[in-house]
Amino acid sequence: MKKSIYLDYNATGVLRPEVRAAVSAFLDNDGNPSSVHHRGRAARAAVDGAREAVAALVGAEDQQVVFTSGGTEANNQAIRGVGAATILMSATEHDSTIGAAYASGAEVHEIPVNGDGLLNMEALKAALEGALKASKGPVLVSVLLANNETGVIQPVAEIAALAHEFGALVHCDAIQAAGKIRIDFEALGVDLMTISGHKINSLGGAAALIFKSWVKLNPIIFGGGQEQGWRSGTENVPGIVAFGRAAELAKEEIENYNKISKLRDYIEAEILAFCSESRVFGAKVSRLSNTISILMPQTLAETQVMAFDLEGICISAGAACSSGKVTTSHVLNAMAVPEHEAGCAIRVSLGWATTKADADAFIAAWKRIYARTHTRK
C-alpha cells in the first residue's frame, strides 16, 4: 500500500502531537464547567485557559471570545445574531456564510470580486450607499480574511474602515487565515470575527466567535446560559482544551509558514514549467503561503481527486463539501474563470507535516495523471 500523503490542510489540519497530549492529560477529568465542585472548577479553569490562548492568537481580549461547536455555528451566530436588515458579502464567501445570510431573512447582496479574487471596493461603496438609503435596520458586511479555496487575502482593514463610514457592522471569517498569517482583531477594525480549532491542527467540534462588547448580539441557541449567555449548551471541554493548545502552538510557530511558502512556490513552478497551459488562480495577489488552486487542463477536478487518491495523495476540488460531491467552484466562477477551467481546478493545501518528499510525490503524480488523461484524448 502506498504511503498516504495529506495535502488537504485547508479542509482540516493534521492533529499536532502536542495537542493530542494536552487532551489525553485532561481526559481523566470528567467535570462539567458549570459545576461548583472541584472537578467542575478544574474544567472551568481549563476552558478559561483555552479562552486566553485563543484570544492571544488573534490579538483579542479573553472576554471577547465565545466558544461554539464549529466554524459554521460561529458564522451563523455572527450573521444571524446581529439582526441585520441588509447583508453585503463578497461573492467568494464560504458556504456557511452564504447559507446563514440567505437564511437570516435579511436582504442579501453579493459584492463582486475581480479576476484575482479581491473584493471590488467601488461596488462595495455603491452597495453601502444604497443600503444606507433603503435599509430599515442594521447593515452587516461579511468578508473572508483569506479564501479557503485560493488563499487570496482580502484587505479587511480597508473594507472595515469603508463599511464603518456608512455605519455598517463588519464580520470577518478568519477561519482559514488563523495560524497562517498574523491577525490582530483590533487592527483589522472588524466588529465580529470567527476562527475554528480544526483548521489550526486541533480537534473538530470547537470554534470561536470573537466580537466587540458593544455589539448587540442575539443568541441563536438557548438553554442554560453558558458562555456568558451567548451560547447555551455544555462546553466541549476536550475540544476546547485542544483548541487552546493548538492556538498556543500556532502563535509560537507562525513564521513556519514562510518555509511552507517555499514548498508551495516549488510545486507551482515545477508544474507550470511542465505544462504551460496550466495556471494558478490568485497567484498575482497576496495569498496564504500554503494554498494552491491549480488547473490541470481538460481534466475534470473529480477525475483528479480520484486519481490522486489512488496515488495515495489527499487533495480536494475547491472547498471540502459535507456531501462529498465535487462541484464547480463558486469562488472561481465569481473570479470570471471560464467554466471549462473552473471545472478542472483542484486545491492543494500544505501544513506543518508537509515535506519536500511530499511535494515531489505530488508533482510526479500530477505529471503522470496529466500524461495519462491527455494520452486518451
5-14+254-375 and 17-252, same CATH topology = no
pLDDT (tens digit per residue) in 204-263: 999 999 999 999 898 878 887 777 767 868 788 999 999 999 999 999 999 888 889 999
Q: Output the pLDDT for position 219.
A: 81
CA 308 to chain centre: 23
- The C-alpha atoms of residue 175 and residue 341 are separated, in whole angstroms, by 27
pLDDT for 325 equals 56
Q: What is the pLDDT of residue 327?
A: 67
Domain boundaries of the chain, sorted by first residue: 5-14+254-375, 17-252
How far is residue 261 CA from its own chain's centroid? 18
Res 322: pLDDT = 43
- The ranges of the chain with pLDDT < 70 are 1, 135, 229, 232, 318-327, 376-377
Alpha carbon distance 115, 249 (integer Å): 35
Chosen CATH of 17-252 out of 3.40.1280.10, 3.30.930.10, 3.40.50.800, 3.40.640.10: 3.40.640.10
With a pLDDT cut of 90, the percent of the chain lying above it is: 80
CATH number of the domain located at residue range(s) 5-14+254-375 in this protein: 3.90.1150.10
Catalytic residue among 172, 314, 321, 344: 321
Q: What is the pLDDT of residue 323?
A: 45
Report the half-sphere exposure of 113 (CA within 13 A, side-chain side).
29
- pLDDT score recorded for residue 321: 47
Judge whether 321 counts as a catalytic residue. yes
